[in-house]
Amino acid sequence: MKNRENKILILDCGSQYTQLIARRVRELGVFSEILFWDSPADKIEASSPSGIIISGGPRSVLDSDAPSIPMHILRSGVPVLGICYGMQLLAHQFGGKVKRGEAAEYGRAKVKLSEDGRLFGKIGEEKELQVWMSHWDQVTELPQDFFATAWSENGALAAFESSDGRISALQFHPEVVHTPKGRDILSAFMFDICGCTADWNLGIDWVDREIEKIKEKVGAGRVICGLSGGVDSTVSAVITSKAVGKNLHCIFVDHGMLRKNEADQVMETYRTLSLNVHRVDAEERFLSALSGITEPEKKRKIIGELFIRVFEEEARRIGGSDWLLQGTIYPDVVESGHGGGNVIKSHHNVGGLPDDMKMNLLEPLRDLFKDEVREVGKTLGIEPHFLERHPFPGPGLAVRCLGELKKERLDVLREADAIFIEEIRKFGLYKEIWQAFCALLPVRSVGVVGDVRTYGETAVLRAVSSLDAMTAEWVHLPYELLDTVSRRICNEVPAVNRVVLDVTGKPPATIEWE
């Protein structure tokens, strides 16, 4: 690979931590890009990175169909770091031996370091590190011209490098917080081995460059934007408005699955941003199309396609449009499996678009994580109270109201959700939480109110902390808050007689329920 760009390419072999690796690289000031391991070789080569990181993954390199990387890429001269499965892959493909594990090594561990190797050059004089392990197979024999640089407490190989210092590998995960010196290890790879410079930032220079890109791409064409009321679509609209001015026409579709009073509140905010917004009341149309549908992916596909049809109709009303602006961000792209790999779930803007869509797609934020989008929003002058809004999915309450979608059930969910958020604000916790909401389950249970038997639905409280939505931990809400919310929902929302708390992280769950 020639003319390398100042970026790190992550080849995803199926790890739950791949997006976290990308975030850590950007936090250190270098742009990162994710491609799936089975991406075409010419696409990998065209990326022209300064370094490549091969992620972990759930497979064994000994499987016949296990992820692999073309050898001409591994031998191309670009520095490579293999993490977990990536270490086993490098050992296997360069001629070493990997043993199929009989038991997993998972969790906190300590490794002993050798005095050699460039990868540990920024951690000082320490000879032992606390790390996070998560693997089954083990490397039992190194390839020729490679040497060990770390061992676990039981003597198993934990890290190695090539004699020329270009290939490095770790059995543990440097990207997680449970490896305290992981940031230093990644820094050594990026700056000492790959020669990167820390020039990735999202200030006014990035905004100006993106505005010029949009101008060049769109030209005199018209742009139609599907505003959802969320941060992503709003930031996309504001930055595009600065590029194309009056040629941007924003459509706010009230599909009947918004939160309580949200449509009116959002329209008021858009007026303060001087955006040209058309409001479309499409509740009946969406609910009719979703009647009888309970399978999550079908819901998302129907909503995604219907959104596009509404946009196309509105575009015709304003005289036609050449471009559809979407608030797509990087986690949407990765989770929807663009470019290969497994689809976690289809996001309506990247997984639900119809093949015969008449407009070109404009996605100025598709390379950014959520926290980066907020930084751009600050640079654009969007009010903090709007940027601090909790994320809200494009399909809206459709992915929080499990089972068949009916207006009556959505109204129940709206009321319960409003109570939950109101009490979170009263307790001063809203800004401390990444995302909080209620979900409504199609599960009825027996209750009693005033000596009268009830048979009501179940509301779920969900609150998580996260940096970019790729991983998340459930928030330990105060008991007093939970008690207040539960009592209010059961007293004020007659259709609900049971409130439960979701205490599952991501992974294994996703943040939304569908």
Catalytic residues: 84, 173, 175
Structure tokens at 2: 């020639």
Structure tokens at 100: 């199929």
Q: Which residues pair with 134 in a beta bridge?
A: 106
Q: Which residues pair with 83 in a beta bridge?
A: 170
Q: What is the C-alpha to C-alpha distance for residues 275 and 64, in angstroms, rounded to an integer?
A: 55
CA-closest candidate to residue 54, choices 26, 28, 77, 83:
83
Strands 167-170 and 157-162, by their bridges, are antiparallel
The number of C-alpha atoms within 13 Å of 136 and in the hemisphere containing its C-beta is 10
Q: What is the C-alpha to C-alpha distance for residues 168 and 117, in angstroms, rounded to an integer?
A: 9
Q: Residues, the chain, total?
A: 514
Structure tokens at 12: 């995803």
Whether the upstream peptide bond of residue 296 has omega within 30° of 0, thus cis, is no
Q: Which ranges of 144-203 does DSSP label H, i.e. alpha helix?
A: 182-187
User: 3-state DSSP: the chain helix, strand, coil percent, rounded to 5?
Assistant: 35, 25, 40
Helices 204-218, 370-379: crossing angle, 10 deg rounding: 90
SS3 call for 125: coil
Q: Which residues of 406-434 are buried (b: 16+ CB within 10 A; e: fewer)?
A: eeebbebbbbbbbbbbebbeeeebeeebb
Whether the upstream peptide bond of residue 507 has omega within 30° of 0, thus cis, is yes
The number of C-alpha atoms within 13 Å of 155 and in the hemisphere containing its C-beta is 2
Strands 128-135 and 105-113, by their bridges, are antiparallel
Structure tokens at 101: 């594990």
